[in-house]
Amino acid sequence: MDVFGFYKAIRIDSSQVKKCFSRLHNVYNSIPKTKGCMENINKERGCGGWCCLIQTPQLLYSEFLLIWHYVSKNWTDDEVCDLFEKCMLNAVNNIPSKGCVFFDKKTKMCRIHKVRPYNCRIYGITPPEEFNPRYDRLKKEYKDIVGAVIKPQCELVLTVDDRDITIEDTNRWWEQLKKVERSIGISKKLMTDEIGGTYRTPHDHILLYNMPENVLNAIAGIKMYDDYTDKIVTIEQLVQVIKNVFKR
Residues of the chain with pLDDT > 90: what percent?
63
pLDDT digits (tens, 9 = 90+) for 137-170: 999 988 888 888 888 899 899 999 999 999 999 9
Q: How far is the C-alpha of 149 from the C-alpha of 138, rounded, in Å?
A: 10
| Range of lowest pLDDT (36-50, 57-71, 114-128) | 36-50
Q: How far is the C-alpha of 105 from the C-alpha of 99, rounded, in Å?
A: 10
The answer to whether 149 touches 171, Cβ cutoff 8 Å, is: no
pLDDT digits (tens, 9 = 90+) for 210-244: 998 889 999 999 999 999 999 999 999 999 998 88
pLDDT score for 8? 59
The answer to whether 183 touches 60, Cβ cutoff 8 Å, is: no
pLDDT digits (tens, 9 = 90+) for 178-207: 999 999 999 888 898 887 789 999 999 999
pLDDT score for 221? 94
Q: What's the rounded mean pLDDT across residues 22-35? A: 96
The answer to whether 149 touches 54, Cβ cutoff 8 Å, is: yes
pTM given for the model:
0.92
Q: How far is the C-alpha of 179 from the C-alpha of 181, rounded, in Å?
A: 5
pLDDT score for 5? 46
Q: How far is the C-alpha of 246 from the C-alpha of 62, rounded, in Å?
A: 26
